Amino acid sequence: MGTFLETHGSELNERQLAAVSQTEGPVLVLAGAGSGKTRVLTYRIAHLIYDHYIPLDAILAMTFSNKAAREMHERVKHLLGDEGPARLPWISTFHSVCARILRLHGGRLGYTSDFAIYDDADQKSLMKDCMEKAGISDKEIAVDTILHQIGEWKNKGKFFDEVESLTRSSFEETCAKLYKTYTEEMKKVQAMDFDDLLLNTYRLFKEHPDVKNFYQDQWRYILIDEFQDTNELQYNLLREMMNSHRNICVVGDDDQSIYGWRGAKIENILEFDKEFKGAKVVKLEQNYRSTGNILKAATAIISKNQMRHEKTLWTNASDGQKIRLASLEDDREEAHFIVGEMKRLMEQGVSASEIAVLYRVNSLSRGFEEECLRYRIPYQIIGGFRFYERKEIKDILSYLKILLNPSDIMAFRRTINTPLRGIGATSVEKLEGLANISQNPIGVWISQWDAIPITGKARDGISQYRDIMAWGLSEVESRDSLVDLLIDLLKKTKYVEVLEKLGTEESKERVQNIEELLSAVQQFEENFREPDVTEGSLLRRKLRAFLEQVSLMSDIDGLYETAEKVTMMSLHAAKGLEFKVCFLAGMEEGLFPSARSYDSYEKTEEERRLCYVGMTRAKEKLYLTRAERRRVFGSINFCVASRFLKDVPMSAVETVREPAESSGSDYAWRPRIQKSAAQSQFANDFDFDQRVQSDEDFSFRKGERVVHPSFGEGIVQKAEFLGADECLSIAFARRGLKKVLSKFVTKL
Ligand code: ATP
Ligand code: MG
């Protein structure tokens, strides 16, 4: 049997092969979508393992999301074959790698291995405490503004003690002070936020060369996918991680840089060869993913950007089918059209897992979801999935969190009076103050009371909580099963019992969500593999791993991902993936490109790159759809076609449009007057005036003063019917001219 490359080299083109076989020294692969960049990384890993006998632990591969990491993991596993090693190298995200390092060595920075990871909400809450302590009202400066400034410093690798000398205004001075207090508080409650994971690892490496050397010796080969979306801190961290051999391979595409708004620096990739002198630069030009028409259209879109490096991308594939453009009357028609097409394709034998609907904002998923339910099309929604942000789930997870890390103040506040135990804010404050004096973690401190130092109504409630804590903390040390702990915890806290007694629709739904959480925990436990932090009981190790997985779930990950389902997700989440059929929905000005990008040229170019990312996900069929009217929170937006549609070359597209009558559905607000055939579908805005109804039966008149629950007061400019509904154009004092359904407004 030959080497891996002898048997698999023919699956790569010449340039790919060159990038795979150049295992030593820095390598940069800068190339367009679908040209096999990720393929280069996966083959490189297999080549290192099989042909160079590199131990698994010596290889570190990183990418931008858990989902992308899993995807790469699968591809490598597949390549290594059934005979391959039982374990795989580290294939992960920056954040997970850092969390793993800090669980092992965080002690050097004063952290135990059970530290909590705080999300945005916890972060804000803790910052509010710090502001209160410092006597700064959030009316003076918004919490978000402060956190944003601190985030920028962190992103530049600046710790709080390094920023004081950098401040240039009194605002920055305030932020610098709060940065210090915040860092101290976070340490006290044993928590880190997302940026801290990167920053603390960076600091650990800088201040503790022995730890850095340990990892540098370990990781002899580093590989990074989607390098165009790394930020400054990740880049600096990477340089710390790398040993003197500099065996690093980064791949990316500047045209797919879509996280500028989160601080990603495109320069990291564009200037890589300056920084890493002698780097081998490989450009891949053949696209293996998409048909000629799809590639032609995507290239036409991206070539409109001014700030880019010209790239050649060609394909051997035939032109394939034309891209289908569909302009629908409204958002429901759009969902109906898309799901109708899905159904048709599935009847023709396309598997559901080969189909994706991509959109600019997650809120669009709802309409597609409803239609899929109606037509019994199996679907999954990736990202924007707020399961772990639901109240009941957060409540229960907080119990688990405080059992793992009894210093976690946010978890304490969430659990102390949940379900209601008659413990008010004053008592909670008092408890926190006393715990502070005792210098013990608050959970431990409470669990150890003999006599409760608080009198009055809250006393009984506190004693119940004390019993739960005392029980829970000792169970964590003695048990094995996480599911069992959770079930008993639900009984002890009476959480489900209280909900069941309420008996409302809402409480029933909450109970169902808790059941869902139990299955998620069960599934986690079945697949549990020992992490490298072996400290503590089995249950503690499970708890640590489970809570970390949940905390690091990003807005572009899925809860469960299963095969044989249509996938719906944001364009951001789709990066790196591919599907036989893709629908890009909501191709409308203001939505895509987003209205928020209008104020700067850079942002509009980023939107265009996002469109390029979206279109290049499709292998065989691409649909671009738009609605002429879209409902947003009770108001109707009349939408102009996205500028991107106008840039698609005519020769690569065909216009399709579902005739409104044939849909067979009963949309209450379909317009009575159909659009004239002469009206262009994409070039023109929806011409509202042509549809004005005669002046009959309106309950509101021009000039009348009205009030809308979210837009406030305004004056009616025009009234008309949309199907059965009356629609008003209103000039709102604070919000300008808007069209809203009359049922949402009241006369003044
Ligand atoms: P993106 O920029 O979207 O991340 P990419 O450059 O990472 O794309 P891959 O996902 O690696 O591209 O490859 C795109 C598709 O082309 C995959 O299905 C891959 O298996 C296939 N492919 C890549 N190179 C070859 C090749 N030499 N021969 C056959 N198929 C290939
Ligand atoms: Mg890729």
CB neighbour list of residue 330: distance below 8 Å, 6 or more residues apart: 627, 628, 629, 630, 631, 667, 669, 670
Number of domains in the chain: 5
Indicate whether 109 pLDDT > 70. Answer: yes
Q: What is the pLDDT of residues 16-51, one digit of tens each?
A: 999 999 999 999 999 999 999 999 999 999 999 999
Instruction: Please name the residue ranges forming H helices in 135-258.
Output: 143-155, 160-163, 170-188, 194-207, 209-218, 232-241
Residues with CB under 5 A from ligand 2 (ion): 37-38, 576
Q: Ligand 1, atom 2: nearest CA belongs to which residue?
A: 33
Q: Are residues 94 and 35 in the same domain?
A: yes
Residue 187 C-alpha from the chain's centroid: 26
414 is catalytic: no
Burial class (CB in 10 A: 0-12, 13-18, 19+), 185: middle
pLDDT at 677: 33
Nearest in space to 571 (alpha carbons), one of 738, 725, 359: 359
Same domain, 339 and 471: no
Ligand at shortest distance from the CA of 8: 1
11 in the same domain as 85: yes
Q: Which of 413-427, 597-611, 691-705 has the lowest mean pLDDT?
A: 691-705
Q: Which domain holds residue 588?
A: 323-378+563-662
In DSSP terms, 358 is beta-bridged to: 569, 584
- Examine the domain organization and report whether 140 and 226 are in the same domain: no
Interval 366-395: pLDDT, tens: 889 889 988 989 998 887 656 777 899 999
Same domain flag for 597 and 468: no
Region 222-243: mean pLDDT is 94
415 is catalytic: no
> In CATH, what number is assigned to the domain containing residue 131?
1.10.10
User: How much is the pLDDT for 177?
Assistant: 95
**573 shares a domain with 486:** no
**Residue 217 pLDDT class (50, 70, 90 cuts):** very high
Note the pLDDT of residue 261. 85
pLDDT at 123: 95
Q: Tell me the best of 17, 35, 37, 39 to mutate to test the pocket of ligand 1, counting ligand atoms within 8 Å of each CB and taking the most.
A: 39
Average confidence score pLDDT of the chain? 88
pLDDT band at 670 (very low <50, low <70, confident <90, very high): very low
Of 44, 249, 289, best ligand 1 pocket probe by most atoms within 8 Å of the beta carbon: 289
Domain containing residue 643: CATH number: 3.40.50.300
Which amino acid is located at 526 in the chain?
E
Last residue of a domain, one of 638, 662, 686: 662
Q: Indicate whether 613 and 708 sit together in one domain.
A: no
Domain assignment of residue 676, yes or no: no
Amino acid making up residue 632: V
Residues 411 and 516 reside in one and the same domain: yes
Among residues 187, 220, 245, the one where a domain terminates is 187
State the closest ligand 1 atom to the C-alpha of 616, by its place in the atom list counted from 1.
3
Q: Active-site residue 190, yes or no?
A: no
In the DSSP assignment, the letter for residue 637 is E
In a domain, 272, yes or no: yes
Cα distance between residue 739 and residue 632, in whole Å: 10
274 pLDDT exceeds 50? yes
pLDDT score of 384: 65
- Does some domain include residue 406? yes
Tokens describing residue 192? 């880190």
Nearest-CA residue for atom 24 of ligand 1: 36
Structure confidence at residue 668 as a pLDDT band (50, 70, 90) = very low
Contact 570, 361 (CB under 8 A): yes
Model confidence over 143-194: pLDDT tens digits? 999 999 999 999 889 999 999 888 889 999 999 999 999 999 999 999 999 9
Is residue 24 a part of any domain in this protein? yes
Is 687 a member of any domain? no
With 70 as the cut, is the pLDDT of residue 489 above it? yes
Q: What percent of the chain has pLDDT over 70?
A: 92
CATH number for the domain spanning 487: value is 1.10.486.10
- The residue with greater pLDDT, 387 or 575, is 575
Q: Taking 60 as the threshold, does the pLDDT of residue 275 lie above it? A: yes
CA dihedral 6→12→14→15, nearest 10 degrees, is: -120
- Kindly state the average pLDDT of the residues 440-450: 93
Euclidean distance between CA atoms 3 and 591, whole angstroms: 51
Check residue 707 and give its pLDDT. Answer: 83
Q: Is the same domain home to 364 and 459?
A: no
Segment 286-306 mean pLDDT: 96
Q: Give the residues surrounding ligand 1 with Cβ less than 6 Å away.
A: 11-13, 16, 33-39, 253, 256, 288-289, 576, 578, 616
112 part of a folded domain? no
CB 628 within 8 A of CB 330: yes
* pLDDT in the model for residue 88: 87
Pairing mode, strands 355-359 and 248-252? unpaired
Q: Are residues 651 and 723 in the same domain?
A: no
**pLDDT value at 662 more than 70:** no
pLDDT score of 354 more than 50: yes
Among residues 135, 153, 187, the one where a domain terminates is 187
- The verdict on residue 214 lying in a domain is yes
714-717-721-724 Cα dihedral, nearest 10 degrees:
20
80-84, 196-200, 500-504, 700-704: range with lowest mean pLDDT: 700-704
The answer to whether 585 and 359 have CB atoms below 8 angstroms apart is yes
Task: For residues 393-415, give the mean pLDDT.
Answer: 96
